[in-house]
Structure 1
């Protein structure tokens, strides 16, 4: 008699089949190629003449890309049919789901500008298939708090130097230091050291001490603060790389780990096999005849019977 099919076995088979497809290298390369094709189509639509001449072909290609993206999402959702909560634990799954499903919302499809922006967001999905790009994006996200602190310090430095510049050069150079806004804009542009030579020459015509003003600003804004920003980004990059490696190890452990229900079923099956072997050995022992008694023991029994 065959055992009844356990509950949820159909979902497990579906998840196993979809997982086998989505985890194949060819699947990832195919989706990556479709993303690049979608980006190329958006670029071709910027040429008005070409877009007007091949409008139907471009629309058909766009619909084909959307169909393939939808099929991809269905496969990814199916790969988590046995554990739906795990699908939403991955931020990339949520991002991909929002980008793909937004194309089917009526109020978004009617707005051409929003629809183009959503199509442009599909290009960001390339980070899912490029580990190094994913690490860079994660590093940028983790560096935002440090970058905010850097921007505050940089704005403070620019404001202080802008006030000093307005006090010192407003009368002689109102075009660049006539107000706090113009002075801050001038100093912000000088952060890249572009035009610093002309600014120093103009300052020397006003005062010889202007060289100290520009030299200290260039040293503080262009070297110290920029190097601090680079340090913050590099530190975030190391943290992002460690997080990516930890996530990869966690995914590998989760893939190799056995489901508790499957483990219990395996133990039950092993116990059944052991019981079957024990039952077979008992049946074999019953079928074997007892060994013949020795002659001396038989003679002794006969004498006892005769007495």
Structure 2
């Protein structure tokens, strides 16, 4: 009986690990996304609803096959599998609720699983995740700079432009965000203020230099450093491997030399 179960699990595993299994699932997810988009134009269409139900149960079948073929322990040891499991179970639980459209849309996010399959994308994502602590420091510095300039702007420019620009602290923050993105900042914000307050150019120029150029370059520098760090780690591991192989080769040569001396 145990042998039959093992044989059945092995057969299911071969199906799950087949080269066409994952492309089929991804194609089904894309098709499901098209159905969701179509439902935004044609609401209540019975054919689309039936297709959606069929796809949901295919997702359930995929889930069951993976759990059987890989084993529950192996399956749930992968965070992406836990994500898939939550999406499928949530789709079933909330299918008859107003949240069903949101849950169906979340299933499209399973395309994110393609990222680990592409080395270049995987390297970028890994570097971004590793750089999060350093980026949090830059985020704190950015909040401090924005807050200082927002207070200055509210203090000196609140009466120059309408209140929606520098009338309050939070509106000043939003205006500074517009300035730092270079979206109509000169014609809509800077020049009208400079017409009334001539020294305002110092405020805007210094903020752009510090807030946009310096902070942006810091972010790029941090991410690039972590991208290069992966290459350095690979290079270091290769050098260590060569060193170990060299040591083993020296040891073998010494043993051969010792054997030859003993024969003499």
Asked if TM exceeds 0.5, the reply is yes
State the Cα distance separating 1:135 from its structure 2 match: 5.9
SS of residue in 2 equivalent to 1:103:
helix
State how 1:70-81 maps to structure 2 within 5 Å.
70-81=60-71
State how 1:1-307 maps to structure 2 within 5 Å.
8-47=2-41, 50-52=42-44, 55-81=45-71, 84-105=72-93, 108-112=94-98, 114-130=99-115, 131-132=117-118, 141-173=129-161, 175=163, 176-198=165-187, 199-234=189-224
Q: 1:38–1:231: structure 2 CA closer, same or farther, 3 Å change rule?
A: farther
Take 2:43 and 2:4, find their aligned partners in 1: how far apart are those partners?
A: 47
Take 1:186 and 1:17, find their aligned partners in 2: how far apart are those partners?
A: 61
CA contact (8 A) 1:169 1:206 kept: no
CA contact (8 A) 2:150 2:172 kept: yes
SS of residue in 2 equivalent to 1:45:
helix
State the Cα distance separating 1:190 from its structure 2 match: 0.7
State the Cα distance separating 1:235 from its structure 2 match: 5.4
Take 2:180 and 2:38, find their aligned partners in 1: how far apart are those partners?
A: 37
State the Cα distance separating 1:218 from its structure 2 match: 0.5
State the Cα distance separating 1:184 from its structure 2 match: 1.9
Take 1:10 and 1:234, find their aligned partners in 2: how far apart are those partners?
A: 53
State the Cα distance separating 1:60 from its structure 2 match: 1.5
Take 2:38 and 2:123, find their aligned partners in 1: how far apart are those partners?
A: 30
Query: What value does the CA root-mean-square deviation take over the aligned residues?
Result: 2.9
Task: Provide TM-score, normalisation by structure 1.
Answer: 0.65
Q: 1:51–1:180: structure 2 CA closer, same or farther, 3 Å change rule?
A: closer
Take 1:240 and 1:35, find their aligned partners in 2: how far apart are those partners?
A: 33
Stretch of structure 1 that moved more, 90-99 or 173-182: 173-182
* Structure 1 segments unaligned to the other structure (5+ residues): 243-307
Larger CA Rg, structure 1 vs 2: 1
Take 2:122 and 2:97, find their aligned partners in 1: how far apart are those partners?
A: 30
Take 1:238 and 1:97, find their aligned partners in 2: how far apart are those partners?
A: 35
Take 1:14 and 1:239, find their aligned partners in 2: how far apart are those partners?
A: 45
* Structure 2 segments unaligned to the other structure (5+ residues): 233-264
Take 1:241 and 1:57, find their aligned partners in 2: how far apart are those partners?
A: 52
Task: Provide TM-score, normalisation by structure 2.
Answer: 0.75
